[in-house]
């Protein structure tokens, strides 16, 4: 077994980014650009009955106010969060009811404040409870997974088990909050639309806009050249691109719309709150005989989104008798959506805390307990894993971390007024792939150009695609340029589900190999006019594999808890992952420690409060919604075990964008229990819960 951590190539666009030359969506200003500012609803549910735009239109520079009365009509699409300003219904507080457009940003903001909306409010229900009469089991959870699964006889096996854990864990709503807010600059020219949009997938945005506006997709170009983070909140089109396109069509001038951060919480999605009951039945040796993971969550009345938190329990451990179920209720609340490792981050928090409780109940070491429950086949599908190496991650992590020096008794270590503890949890994220196309050109000048509508959301996608092409072409990396981030490029899937590198890379690899063959046919030289080859992986990707495929990992945390204040600090966080071949150690490590840092935020700080009276979130900025700052992150280390798995894709890679956040919160919570003896089952681990 080897762990590999040699540096990889630096980001191709790094210099552009640090010098400010890289242009983001709101940094395009075509001549005559106007500015838009949205007006959110101030009631939690009801109807718009009057709209008075008189005062708003008196603002100097005012161009128009769009409302449901005058906005361009949109065609129906699956995602109803995009059907904006189409009727008088207010499904939740913060839903957009008008859009002010002016010559300047300041005027647009002043106009938005001056728009007078009269409402007919209705009673609303924004409170999730585990006894809510509206709860039901959905056919499908997010990702198309069955809403409920049963194997064997859970009730009987649990009843007979000598060791049992029955615990309920809660996670509050969480928000993605990327550095770059959701923004679009849109312009119409001769019936065609060009939108610079901050998005994780310009092809998806292009195709959705084509449906909404009833246009051939060839008449729409969406550019997402540089994107300042998304974490799922830009995975599919969000309101800004629809509003900007409507505003530009209505006014006849280019329109720029950057959503104010204070409005993001209600409009671009969030990780839904989940209440999770986990029951584990095991032998005295800790081997699991019965596993139930039951999830209660909420969605909105606009669109169904069911956080698939019970899904990882279908893959992780031995579970001959298993029940994994989601219950969802549609409330008058903003629509939840994707947030980094939706389902896995939530579900593995609960499952991995329950594993720690089982370790305590049986006296089996937490690392050893996970080893004993390892499985070579995926319990739910019965398929063998193409590669797994969870045990190797646990063992290598334990060695590097110094796990075995630990006295397992809670409150056994302290330093002055600080209690110290360590905890472990496993990580898991499925290998997802989507069909992609790509084109590679060889110029007469000896250079190569890769063209694919991939999106670099800050991950280093450009760089790794250049590496893949260089390797498949057998040419030096310096000779390869990459164009990504435009729907005018060959069609490609979005950057989501940790599927980008595998999906785009497969197409780039295939096109590069085809081009290499073409060059060879020309006697190894490129004619002055150049050569080009294209590829599409639809057939390669859609074949149903006989294997279960996932990335795994093990995370170890050491915490220090202040006895007097209850404040928890994470002293050390160490992860070892198994994710196929990591193609670029530099950007790969950034992905993993970025995920772990986000998991640290989930453990200790991050929380959005849905105010039941108003039906909306109280935290609306980065002061009240605290994402980890540098001062919160002490020692953090990510390593990996290089896996040679021929069943993944030609590069042998698994996704790494999300596996890093999975398990972190449990590792920290388990360490806090070890330090204090207090089992907090409700995130985040705020100080008052420990006093």
Q: Looking at the annotation, which residues are catalytic? A: 658
Nearer to ligand MOS, 251 or 297 (CB): 297
The minimum distance between CB 342 and ligand MOS, in angstroms, equals 5
Close Cβ partners of 690 (under 8 Å, ≥ 6 residues apart): 561, 566, 568, 672, 676, 678, 680
Three-state DSSP class for residue 430: strand
Name which of residues 181 to 200 contact ligand MOS (CB under 6 A): 200
The minimum distance between CB 588 and ligand MOS, in angstroms, equals 17
The minimum distance between CB 29 and ligand MOS, in angstroms, equals 28
Close Cβ partners of 20 (under 8 Å, ≥ 6 residues apart): none
Question: d(Cα 77, Cα 597) in Å, to the nearest integer?
Answer: 36
The minimum distance between CB 605 and ligand MOS, in angstroms, equals 19
Query: Please, are residues 326 and 138 in contact by the beta-carbon 8 Å criterion?
Result: yes
Query: Please, are residues 336 and 299 in contact by the beta-carbon 8 Å criterion?
Result: yes
Question: d(Cα 126, Cα 103) in Å, to the nearest integer?
Answer: 38
How many alpha carbons fall within 13 Å on the CB side of residue 466? 23
Strand (E) or helix (H) holding 449: strand 448-451
The minimum distance between CB 144 and ligand MOS, in angstroms, equals 14
Question: d(Cα 689, Cα 691) in Å, to the nearest integer?
Answer: 6
The minimum distance between CB 176 and ligand MOS, in angstroms, equals 8
Nearer to ligand MOS, 305 or 448 (CB): 305
Name which of residues 34 to 53 contact ligand MOS (CB under 6 A): none
The one-character DSSP state at 615 is T
Name which of residues 222 to 261 contact ligand MOS (CB under 6 A): 231-232, 235
Question: d(Cα 204, Cα 230) in Å, to the nearest integer?
Answer: 15
Nearer to ligand MOS, 65 or 661 (CB): 661
The one-character DSSP state at 233 is T
Question: d(Cα 372, Cα 395) in Å, to the nearest integer?
Answer: 12
Q: Residue 449 burial (CB < 10 Å; 0-12/13-18/19+)?
A: middle
Query: Please, are residues 103 and 111 in contact by the beta-carbon 8 Å criterion?
Result: no
Nearer to ligand MOS, 24 or 338 (CB): 338
Close Cβ partners of 305 (under 8 Å, ≥ 6 residues apart): 142, 269, 272, 299, 335, 336, 337
Contact call for residue 496 and ligand MOS (CB under 6 A): yes
Contact call for residue 460 and ligand MOS (CB under 6 A): no
Record the tokens describing residue 36, joined without a space: 């838009």
Contact call for residue 178 and ligand MOS (CB under 6 A): no
Name which of residues 295 to 354 contact ligand MOS (CB under 6 A): 338-340, 342
Question: d(Cα 656, Cα 667) in Å, to the nearest integer?
Answer: 19
Sign of CA dihedral 316, 317, 320, 323: negative
The minimum distance between CB 498 and ligand MOS, in angstroms, equals 6
Q: How many chain residues bind ligand MOS (CB under 6 A)?
A: 10
Q: For the CA atoms of the chain, what is the radius of gyration?
A: 26
Query: Please, are residues 363 and 679 in contact by the beta-carbon 8 Å criterion?
Result: no
Question: d(Cα 499, Cα 541) in Å, to the nearest integer?
Answer: 12
The minimum distance between CB 678 and ligand MOS, in angstroms, equals 31
Binding site for ligand MOS (CB under 6 A): 200, 231-232, 235, 338-340, 342, 496-497
């Amino acid at each position: 077994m080897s762990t590999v951590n040699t540096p990889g190539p630096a980001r191709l666009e790094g210099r552009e980014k640090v010098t400010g030359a890289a242009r983001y969506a709101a940094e395009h200003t075509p001549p005559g650009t106007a500015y838009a500012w949205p007006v959110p609803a101030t009631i939690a549910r009801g109807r718009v009955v009057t709209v008075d735009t008189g005062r708003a239109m008196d603002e100097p520079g005012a161009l128009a106010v769009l409302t449901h009365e005058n906005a361009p009509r949109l065609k129906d699409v699956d995602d109803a969060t995009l059907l904006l300003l189409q009727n008088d219904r207010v499904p939740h507080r913060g839903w957009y009811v008008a859009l002010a457009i002016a010559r300047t940003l300041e005027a647009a903001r002043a106009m938005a404040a001056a728009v007078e909306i009269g409402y007919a409010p209705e009673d609303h229900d924004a409170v999730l409870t585990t006894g809510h009469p509206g709860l039901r089991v959905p056919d499908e959870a997010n990702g198309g997974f069955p809403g409920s699964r049963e194997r064997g006889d859970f009730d009987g096996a649990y009843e007979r088990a000598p060791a049992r854990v029955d615990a309920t864990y809660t996670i509050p709503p969480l928000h993605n909050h990327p550095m770059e807010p959701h923004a679009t600059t849109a312009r119409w020219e001769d019936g065609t639309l060009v939108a610079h949009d901050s998005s994780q997938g310009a092809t998806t945005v292009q195709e959705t806009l084509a449906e909404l506006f009833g246009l051939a997709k060839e008449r729409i170009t969406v550019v997402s050249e540089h994107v300042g983070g998304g974490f799922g909140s830009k995975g599919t089109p969000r309101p800004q691109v629809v509003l900007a396109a409507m505003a530009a069509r209505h006014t006849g001038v280019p329109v720029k719309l950057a959503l104010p951060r204070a409005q993001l919480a209600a409009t671009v999605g969030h990780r839904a709150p989940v209440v999770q009951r986990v029951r584990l039945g095991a032998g005295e040796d800790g081997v699991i005989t019965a596993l139930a993971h039951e999830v209660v969550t909420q969605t909105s009345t606009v669109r169904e989104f069911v956080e698939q938190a019970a899904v990882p329990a279908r893959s992780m451990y031995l579970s001959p008798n298993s029940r994994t179920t989601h219950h969802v209720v549609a409330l008058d609340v903003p629509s939840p959506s994707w947030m980094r490792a939706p389902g896995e981050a939530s579900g593995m928090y609960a499952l991995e805390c329950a594993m720690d409780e089982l370790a305590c109940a049986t006296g089996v070491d937490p690392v050893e307990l996970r080893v004993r429950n390892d499985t070579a086949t995926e319990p739910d599908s019965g398929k063998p894993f193409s590669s797994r190496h969870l045990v190797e991650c646990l063992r290598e992590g334990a060695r590097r971390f110094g796990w075995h020096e630990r006295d397992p008794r809670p409150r056994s270590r302290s330093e002055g007024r600080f209690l110290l503890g360590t905890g472990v949890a496993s990580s898991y994220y499925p290998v997802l792939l989507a069909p992609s196309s790509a084109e590679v050109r060889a110029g007469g000048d000896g250079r190569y150009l890769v063209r694919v509508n991939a999106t670099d959301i800050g991950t280093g996608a450009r760089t790794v695609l250049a590496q893949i092409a260089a390797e498949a072409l057998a040419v030096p990396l310096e000779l390869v340029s990459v164009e990504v981030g435009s729907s005018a490029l060959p069609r490609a899937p979005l950057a989501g589900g940790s599927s980008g590198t595998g999906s785009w890379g497969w197409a780039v690899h295939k096109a590069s190999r085809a081009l290499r063959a073409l060059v060879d046919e020309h006697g190894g030289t490129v004619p002055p006019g150049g050569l080009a080859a294209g590829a599409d992986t639809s057939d390669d990707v859609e074949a149903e594999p006989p294997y279960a495929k996932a990335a795994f990992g093990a995370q170890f945390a050491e915490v220090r808890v202040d006895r007097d204040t209850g404040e928890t600090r994470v002293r050390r966080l160490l992860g070892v992952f198994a994710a196929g071949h990591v193609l670029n150690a530099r950007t790969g490590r950034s992905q993993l420690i970025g995920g772990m840092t986000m998991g640290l935020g989930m453990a200790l700080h991050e929380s959005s409060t849905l105010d039941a009276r108003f039906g909306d979130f109280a935290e609306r900025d980065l002061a009240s919604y605290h994402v980890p700052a540098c001062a919160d992150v002490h020692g953090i280390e990510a390593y990996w075990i290089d896996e040679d798995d021929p069943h993944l894709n030609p590069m042998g890679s698994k996704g790494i964008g999300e596996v890093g956040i999975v398990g972190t919160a449990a590792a920290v919570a388990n360490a806090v229990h070890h330090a204090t003896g207090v089992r907090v089952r409700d995130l985040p681990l705020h100080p008052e819960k420990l006093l």
